[in-house]
Structure 1
Amino acid sequence: MGKVIIQQYTTKYPITMIGEEAGTCWGADTSDSSKNYKRGLECLSNEHGRTTEYPDVYMILDGYSARVIREWYTHIGGSPTRLQASTRYIDYEHGFDFVVPPTIQNNPQALNVYTGIMADIADGLKELDELGIPREDSALGLPLGMTTRIVCKHNARNLMDMSHQRMCNRAYHEYRKLFNDLCDALRDYSEEWQYIVDHYFMPKCKYMGFCKEKYTCGLMPRREAPM
């Protein structure tokens, strides 16, 4: 089971920070945190997106599949950065954890086939290790379903934008779970993050008031094609 760990370097008061940074450029009084907070709410409400690039989230994503982490890397806006568990130095030859999709978990016959595939890969990697094959080469046989760990940094604007795509009901199921785990972790980190998550992290259909997808889930009405 994957988990998101918010690290201590994460901005504790993102809304207040937004208001202080904006106030500095507006010539406003930034010595009062309550005024900064109010100004930050205004920036969020008015969608002054550049201001939301200041608060940073440092996190550990642990126990999610290599496949979903590859998708996580596609959201590169706002200069996020990340490091991933090494396939060169970590010993995967003698076993690795892996993600089991619900469709397989709920089908005993399919589960038996799937776990067999993973066992065969692990056995093959062990044999290659015994043959003296360097880990950096044998690691090419590792499956996308193998769990991994990364540390990464994203700003608030990047995460808000990511939520519009990845909280959609038609997004990949593990990504939806990962993002919901992130929302819960940020809510627990501070009240200001809870406010941002509850008001600005949402699928794009809720954000825009209509669905833009060709194959809609039906949560929101589809936008009519332009005449």
Structure 2
Amino acid sequence: MNVKLIAHTQLSEEFYDSFDEYGGHSGWSGNPFERMNAADSAAVALTAIRTCYSPLKPTEIVAQEGEKYFGNAASDGEGGTEADRLFRHITGSGHTSTLEHITYTFAIEGVSRALLAQLTRHRHLSFSVQSQRYVRMGSADKIGGFDSVFPPSIEGNPEAKRRFRGMMINAQEDYDTLRSLGVPPEDARMVLPNAAACSLVMTGNSRTLLDFYAKRRPGRGAQHEIADLAVRLRDEIVKVDPWLAPYFDTKKEGE
């Protein structure tokens, strides 16, 4: 499995340029988030949250309140900035719709069709998946035949691994035979197993991805492959948005 973040929420240049227009106080020029080590996504979250409770316009909030929230220590004694305190308060109160404005797009490679079926049970995720209809899976095709995902319970059992590998070889031979008999790829793919690997591009917002992690992380009874995916998605997110790390529940990870 290979998981890479390929895009995430960023502030627009026009929004950056508006800080001076709406700010009106000294010391607020250029990129304030570099100075205060605040992520663009946190500015989006602050804008969404304060829009619900502030008389200011959304375009004015970061310029006029950013210093207060990102420049001061949290008043609740829980660490971080006042922005972190606000985020804790909002998520604790269940107002997590404000996190839906932060999105992430991932390249996910080498996962099984069984995992793909589980992914589709989660709402508010968008997928573009490698097609077994238009991508021909024959041994002689450009792809060189389908790859297989071996579960750990099979990988660690020599006899089971030998038999499983034989089943994958047989499935490939059956697919090739059907294609040689004139069966189109869209019908020949019916013999391909759940273990057949695929790649996809997936986009989700932070609320959905936090919910996905809470349900699929290690220690919650999820199948190994999707639990591994949950951890990899989390790791990619916190690389660019470390402020979200506390919101990923890791208390029982590894159980």
Q: By the TM > 0.5 criterion, same fold?
A: yes
For 2:5, the equivalent position in structure 1 comes to 6
SS state at 1:81 partner: strand
2:218·2:228 contact (CA, 8 Å) conserved in 1? no
1:178-189 map, 5 Å:
178-188=229-239
**Which of structure 1's runs of 4+ aligned residues deviate more than 4 A?**
32-40
How high is the sequence identity, in percent, across the aligned residues?
A: 25
Normalising to structure 1: TM-score of the pair?
0.80
User: In the TM superposition, what are the counterparts of 1:51-130 in structure 2 within 5 Å?
Assistant: 51-76=98-123, 79-94=124-139, 95-130=145-180
Aligned-partner SS, 1:7: strand
**Gap runs ≥5 in structure 2:** 11-39, 71-80, 140-144
Which residue identity is paired with 1:112? Answer: R
Q: C-alpha separation between the residues in 1 aligned to 2:69 and 2:121?
A: 33
Change (3 A) 1:147 1:85: same
Q: Once the two structures are superposed, what CA deviation does each residue of 1:21-51 show, in whole Å capped at 9, x if it has no partner?
A: 2233423432165556556524430212011
- Aligned-pair distance for 1:162? 1.2
Mapped to 2, the partners of 1:35 and 1:102 lie a distance apart of: 50
* Distance in 2, Cα, partners of 1:149 & 1:91: 14
Closer/same/farther in 2, CA of residues 49 and 40 from structure 1, 3 Å limit:
farther
Checking the alignment, whether the CA contact within 8 Å between 1:18 and 1:40 is kept in structure 2 is no
Corresponding residue for residue 16 of structure 1: 43
Worse-superposed segment, 114-123 or 176-185: 176-185
The one-letter code of the counterpart of 1:18 is A
**Alpha-carbon distance in 1 for matches of 2:148, 2:96:** 38
Which runs of 5 or more residues in structure 1 are unaligned?
212-216, 220-227
Rg larger for: 2
Which residue of 238, 242, 248 corresponds with 1:194?
242
Aligned residues: 200
Equivalent residue runs for 1:126-205 within 5 Å: 126-169=176-219, 170-188=221-239, 190=240, 193-196=241-244, 198-202=245-249
Q: Structure 2 length as normaliser, TM-score?
A: 0.72
Residues in 2 aligned to 1:109 and 1:75: alpha-carbon distance in whole angstroms:
35
Change (3 A) 1:36 1:20: farther
Moved more, 170-179 or 30-39: 30-39
CA distance in 2, matches of 1:80, 1:218: 26
